[in-house]
Each structure stands twice: as structure tokens, then as C-alpha cells.
Amino acid sequence: MNLTEEGTILQVRAPGINFYVLRDGETLYLIDAGFIGGPRLLHRALARRRWNRFPVGGILITHGHLDHILNVQQIAKRYGAWIVAPRLDAEQYRGKSNYPGKARVAMWLERVGRPILGFRPFRPDRLLDDGDQINVWQGLQAVHLPGHTAGHMGYYSPARRLLFSGDLFVSYGYRASLPPDIFNTAPEQIPASVDAALAFDLEGIFPNHCDVSPPDVHLQRLRKLANRLANKPAVD
């Protein structure tokens, strides 16, 4: 079953990255806010679904990378929406980043990209820790899945058995893979985060970087990736 057709989830697609809209009654909630052209793509997607008559009540951020938070301040200001976000990525919301190792490449890309793309710093209304509950969409649980960034989070819906997994993995062309190491602050933590995600009772997963396959297919791909990671020989 394609769960995006249930009528409560809308995937806003863009080249290279997607974000999500959840409908809860007469109010909408975003999972991240997109990258270049995000507000325009959001407007078009809402109009096609005929959701443009509903207000955006809140924005839930998975992590502080620029391709996920570029438009947060603009959209929140337009709709008067609240913002919740992982506590450990707080400096990124202020327009700063200090990534270690290979992720310094991502750090420099963000430092160049923020002024060029017009990033506006923001202050979340609530900083989230692992296990925190957000009272929307029959309840969402913040799930700390570190490795991509220090604070990287997913959002789990127990009522629907779905996980919005942020950048835990990418899912294209019949295969899941980990994000490139230049975007991961602690890549050694990601296999444990994959296991933590799969420990939930799941019917499907919604990644941010993925093809148009339904969420149950992304879940199958992640399980296969977990098996590959478990069988990977140790490196001294």
C-alpha cells in the first residue's frame, strides 16, 4: 500500500531532497522545510492537493544541515508556525557549523551557501531530546539517530507505524546506502542508529533523500542495508 495516498501525508519533491507535510485535521505540519525553491514547491504541492486553504501550524526539524533548514524562518514567519528541533544541532540554527573530519567539506559548503542562498537564523520554540513527544498527528516521538549530525533525529508515529528518518540513509534505484562521509559528523555512529530505527514496530519509512517508491519499499531497503552493515568486516 502506498501510504502517501492515505490523505494525511504529502511528499514535497525537489531535485536531490524531499520534505513532508502532515495533515492533522485542519492544520498542517512540516517535517523539514526544503532547500532551494522550497517555499515555491510547497505552495505548488499544497495547491495540487487542495491543502492550501489550511495553515501551517508547526515545523519539525530532523537536523541542522542547510538543505533542511534553509527556509524554516521564512515559512514559520509567514504562517506564525512554531518550530521544534534537535537540541544538539542548535548552533546550526544560528547559522554556524563546526563539523569534524571529512565533514569539514560540508561545513565549508554551508559557510559559503548561507549568504548566497539567503539563510535566516532562527530560534526553535522547543529543543528536543530523545524520546520527547510532539502532540500532533496522533502523537510523534522524537528519536535520536546520531552520526549524520550530532543531533540528527527521526520522528516515529506509533499510531501509523511510520518513521520519518531524515538523512539516516538514502534510498534510490532499488538500494539504500549511507550518506557520503563528507556529510556525516560521526559516521561510525550510523550503523547503531540504523539498528535503533529498525527496532521500532514499522510499516514504512520516509527518508528525505529518496525516489518515489512507497514507504514499505524504503523500509525493505533499509533492512537490507542493515544486513550489509552487520556483515561488513571490521577495519583496524
pLDDT digits (tens, 9 = 90+) for 74-112: 999 999 999 999 999 999 999 999 999 999 999 999 999
Look up residue 8 and give its three cell numbers.
494525511
In the predicted model, what is the mean pLDDT of residues 217-226? 96
pLDDT, averaged across the chain: 94
Strand ordering across the sheet containing 133-134: 133-134, 140-144, 153-157, 162-166, 204-207
Confidence check: pLDDT of 3 > 70:
no
Domains of the chain from N-terminus onward:
8-230 (3.60.15.10)
In the predicted model, what is the mean pLDDT of residues 198-211? 97
Predicted confidence band at 146 (pLDDT cuts at 50, 70, 90)? very high
Confidence check: pLDDT of 234 > 50:
no
Is 0.75 surpassed by the pTM of this model? yes
In the predicted model, what is the mean pLDDT of residues 43-55? 95
Look up residue 114 and give its three cell numbers.
548561507
Q: In angstroms, rounded to a whole number, what is the distance separating the alpha carbons of residues 59 and 22?
A: 10
What proportion of the chain, given as a percentage, has pLDDT over 90?
92
pLDDT of the residue at 6: 56
CA 70 to chain centre: 13
In the predicted model, what is the mean pLDDT of residues 149-160? 98
The backbone region for 231, taken as left when phi is positive above 0, alpha when psi lies in -120 to 50, beta otherwise, is alpha
Written in H, E and C, the secondary structure of the chain is CCHHHHCCEEEEEECCEEEEEEEECCEEEEECCCCCCHHHHHHHHHHHHCCCCCCEEEEECCCCCHHHHCCHHHHHHHHCCEEEEEHHHHHHHCCCCCCCHHHHHHHHHHHHHHHHHCCCCCCCCEEECCCCEECCCCCEEEEECCCCCCCCEEEEECCCCEEEEECCCEEECCEEECCCHHHCCCHHHHHHHHHHHHCCCCCEEEECCECCCCHHHHHHHHHHHHHHHHCCCCCC
Q: Do you know the residue count of the chain?
A: 236
Q: In angstroms, rounded to a whole number, what is the distance separating the alpha carbons of residues 64 and 114?
A: 12
Predicted confidence band at 229 (pLDDT cuts at 50, 70, 90)? very high
Confidence check: pLDDT of 226 > 70:
yes
In the predicted model, what is the mean pLDDT of residues 42-55? 95
Confidence check: pLDDT of 236 > 80:
no
Amino acid identity at 147: G
**82 closest CA partner among 125, 123, 119:** 125
Beta carbons within 10 angstroms of residue 86's beta carbon: 29
Structure confidence by residue, pLDDT tens digits, 174-199: 899 999 999 999 999 999 999 999 99
Find where cell 556483515 sits.
231
Least confident of 7-16, 69-78, 135-144: 7-16
pLDDT of the residue at 233: 53
CB-based contact 219:210 (threshold 8 Å): no
